[in-house]
Amino acid sequence: MAKTIREKLEQREYKILSDIATKSAESKGRKEAEIQSDLRTDFQRDRDRILHSKAFRRLKHKTQVFLSPFDDHFRTRLTHTLEVSQIARTIARALDLNEDLVEAISLGHDLGHTPFGHCGEGVLNELVQGGFHHNIQSVRVVEVLEHLNLCQETVDGILTHTWGFKPKTPEAKVVQFADKIAYINHDIEDSIRAGVISESDLPKDCIEYFSSNQSKRLNKMITEIVSNSIGKQEITMSEEGWAYTTKLRTWLFENVYNDESTAKLEEYKAKKVIKELFCLYCDMLKNVCPKDKIERVVTDYISGMTDRYAVERFKDNFIPTGLKCSARDDFLFKLANLELA
């Protein structure tokens, strides 16, 4: 008989979740053993730790596609993360998978992303020996930099959300799909808003299959996964649906992500910011840090920056400023005295 709320929740999972779902009570645990909560399952605790982390809060000022947009309706890395979470939870709920694990993975999957989006990731990948990959950095954030001590299943999902990695749980596979579905759809919308593309530019066969309406296209992609995975051991999409999804993603890379249009011309400046800061910080640490540790420290620091923080650090170190006079507002009172005279 259950003694705590957590135990009741764990028992409920066995009653309502599918056979392939990851059960909280069967988690492989954390690197460091902890006393379990009376109120929350282990995956719920993971979700909450990620949500309250500093790295999660910084996502609100990190680029998704378009650098430091002034238009409040463009996505940031934070809103992308929330959309991934919503899509993944919808799929998990429909398939009777563990929503708490799906949400934890979704909220943590991009914690290691750089400022200036994939542009920033590309620069660090060139500068860092062995390359830089945001999914691996996300794991470093939760395991080392913020020491969240998450469950192995959550860490695996964060690591494998990038295509090409093999998730160990069906929940992680759901997030892998949800990430692609989210950015394909919202990046199309943002690109149209930015004037980079128009709706009529999208591949016609993809539009005929999914619809030109974003809501309908999003729903069809999600439905494709649910209808092709329900009652099965694997999480998948129909062969035809995946082919059109992949084609749409490839089209976005060719026409938006790697495009040299006006909306993307600021990227070379962003690359310069990161390169200059990287060299500067490596030089600053050469007398205070072991040589083999410098690159690691600088990579952690820069990858954790928001767009605006990176720009401010660049300004402080490379842009000259005029002499600031602390008494410059005195003229205001001089004018007031003149009026009173």
Task: Choose between 10 and 267: higher pLDDT.
Answer: 10
What's residue 329's pLDDT? 63
Q: Provide the pLDDT for residue 306.
A: 96
Domain tally, the chain: 1
Q: Is residue 273 part of a domain?
A: no
* Residue at 18 is within a domain: yes
Per-residue pLDDT band for 66 (boundaries 50, 70, 90) equals: confident
Q: Is residue 261 part of a domain?
A: yes
Rounded to whole angstroms, the Cα distance separating 27 from 13 reads 13
What mean pLDDT is reported for the chain? 92
CA dist 55 and 302 (Å) reads: 12
What is the tens place of the pLDDT at every residue in 139-197? 999 999 999 999 999 999 999 999 899 999 999 999 999 999 999 999 999 999 988 89
Structural domain includes residue 301? no
Question: pLDDT tens across 19-53, in order?
Answer: 999 999 999 999 999 999 999 999 999 999 999 99
Domain extent, residue 216, equals 5-267
Q: Please determine, for residue 263, whether its predicted confidence score (pLDDT) is greater than 80.
A: no
Task: Please tell me whether residue 163 adopts helix, strand or coil conformation.
Answer: strand
The first and second tokens of residue 164, run together, are: 């090409």
Q: What is the pLDDT of residue 69?
A: 57
| Residue 341 falls inside a structural domain | no
Residues in the chain, overall count: 341
Percent of the chain with pLDDT over 90: 79
Nearest Cα residue to 171 out of 245, 107, 76: 107
**Domain presence at residue 338:** no
How far, in Å, are 170, 178, 198, 215, 317 from residue 160 at the CA level? 12, 12, 33, 27, 37
Give the residue from 45, 25, 29, 20 showing the smallest Cα distance to 152: 29
Confidence grade of residue 268 (pLDDT, cut at 50, 70, 90): confident
Q: Is residue 287 part of a domain?
A: no
Q: Are 186 and 218 in contact (CB under 8 A)?
A: no
Residue 68 pLDDT greater than 70, yes or no: no
Q: What is the CATH number of the domain that holds 162?
A: 1.10.3210.10
Q: Is residue 316 part of a domain?
A: no
Give the residue from 240, 192, 196 showing the smallest Cα distance to 220.
240
286-316: per-residue pLDDT in tens? 998 899 999 999 999 999 999 999 999 999 9
CA distance 274 to 294: 16
Confidence of residue 260 (pLDDT cuts 50, 70, 90): low
> Which tokens in the block code for residue 87?
């899509």
Has residue 65 got a pLDDT over 90? no
